[in-house]
Structure 1
């Protein structure tokens, strides 16, 4: 029996599927994930909102690493998993896709009914006045203010980060908001920050209308995503997951497929 058959059958049997994706959906596009097969951190936990806002040193470190990491992150393109989920929407099987990723690759692949639960890395927002600017514009300013940094070599880290642990960030210049001089921050939800209420409400509304949940590439260790699987289970809705390794919701799953996301979804293409 084809090992993809149970997942094919799950998708065929349900008319309105709520899709939830995580970092594992984008790894084959070249974006590293955060956790190992046991659901544990592979590296130090990401910077928190409180640390980022507390002092200039943390922001210098963040933006220096981001300057180097953006060279790679800004060029990533959708993989077959993203294209397969766009096809699922086009077939009328998926009316809502909630992603924990900040890479906007679902939209680039053609999915239109997407909510970016944790925001988007291609945009920068002022924490004081709320103005947004494109990340590419921020990149150009960082390069202009910090000659030589763009050429530094570093290993890729999740979400546009780069491993620059030995670097001295003391002289790294970070531009202020061009409108009010406030602190600029990537337009993403950091650890320690709350997900905007409108995104949660939109997801809850879509989950109410769905008859099944499909989790792609998420360990669900972060509660912001896990809560929707919990809600589905409480409502008696079946949940299937494609993930390499354990998830926080293993005991709630109707079906689990332990394969790379693009391989497991290849039948949709």
Structure 2
């Protein structure tokens, strides 16, 4: 803990990189871990969403079924600690693999959060990119059972997340790359660091001369290149370091 405090105190520009582990402490289920969502039902690939009315309906059925877990989730000590460090100007950006909006809910400005896998709290038309809020879509889906179409262009409406087989968002990947190259401390938090290309950012930071800290409940494949590894709960680790009173 003292080494982590020292690393944060000595850093001029910190980037935090967060995965599912920070949000499981808020009650949001993990997707990839043993017992996670994808071990109980196969993911719907992007090509199947595009080509099949049935798959689009199933994707929306799953989305609304899982919304109860997301709706109850609140930012935890880990989120709030990162928000405090961002507010103090220590953290320049939070690169996240999560889709739950909890970093923004904790008070981190939108322009400091880089969402590599999108955001599940709203939807967009895949063609014209018009934004849709979820409650009207839910009401229409419950009434008709049909997947929503864009009222402006007739395109398919999908949650603003990145599905399996869907291209990573170029703008966000570019922003994450730039932020990583500019940092002198990169803290990977709650990620197994197995999903690429996202997991390449800690490697990039290290190769560029930044200190690399990994905070995760379980060991990761990148532990051997890290300057500091902490295998512990995230909120319990970051709360005291950020001198967070909760």
Shared fold (TM-score, shorter chain, > 0.5): yes
Structure 2 partner of 1:164: none
Deviations 1:63-90 (A, max 9, x none): 1121222133133221111100001112
Aligned-pair distance for 1:44? 4.7
Aligned-pair distance for 1:183? 1.4
Aligned-pair distance for 1:194? 1.7
Count of residue pairs brought into register by the alignment: 238
Return the match for 2:48 from 51, 67, 73. 51
Structure 1 partner of 2:19: 22
Structure 1 partner of 2:128: 129
State yes or no: 1:207 paired with 2:180: yes
Aligned residue for 2:202, secondary structure, equals helix
Larger RCO, structure (CA 8 Å, separation 6 or more): 1
Q: Distance in 1 between matches of 2:223 and 2:231?
A: 12
Q: Distance in 1 between matches of 2:48 and 2:119?
A: 20
State yes or no: 1:33 paired with 2:30: yes
Aligned residue for 2:124, secondary structure, equals strand
CA contact under 8 A between 1:16 and 1:211: conserved in structure 2?
A: yes
Aligned residue for 2:72, secondary structure, equals coil
Q: Distance in 2 between matches of 1:264 and 1:62?
A: 36
Structure 2 partner of 1:85: 82
Closer, same or farther: CA 125–85 of 1 in aligned 2, 3 Å: same
Closer, same or farther: CA 44–5 of 1 in aligned 2, 3 Å: farther
CA contact under 8 A between 2:183 and 2:205: conserved in structure 1?
A: no
Structure 1 partner of 2:195: 222
Closer, same or farther: CA 44–79 of 1 in aligned 2, 3 Å: same
Q: Distance in 2 between matches of 1:135 and 1:228?
A: 32
Aligned-pair distance for 1:260? 1.5
Unaligned runs of 5+ in 2: none
Return the match for 1:264 from 237, 240, 246. 237
State yes or no: 1:191 paired with 2:188: no
Aligned-pair distance for 1:47? 2.2
CA contact under 8 A between 2:15 and 2:183: conserved in structure 1?
A: yes
Between stretches 128-137 and 111-120, larger displacement belongs to 128-137
Structure 2 partner of 1:140: 139
Report the TM-score, using the length of structure 2 for normalisation.
0.89
Q: Distance in 1 between matches of 2:39 and 2:226?
A: 25
Structure 2 partner of 1:117: 116
Q: Distance in 2 between matches of 1:230 and 1:222?
A: 13
CA contact under 8 A between 1:63 and 1:174: conserved in structure 2?
A: yes
Closer, same or farther: CA 29–74 of 1 in aligned 2, 3 Å: same
Deviations 1:220-247 (A, max 9, x none): 1111321111211221221101111132
Q: Distance in 2 between matches of 1:46 and 1:262?
A: 29
CA contact under 8 A between 2:184 and 2:209: conserved in structure 1?
A: no
State yes or no: 1:71 paired with 2:73: no
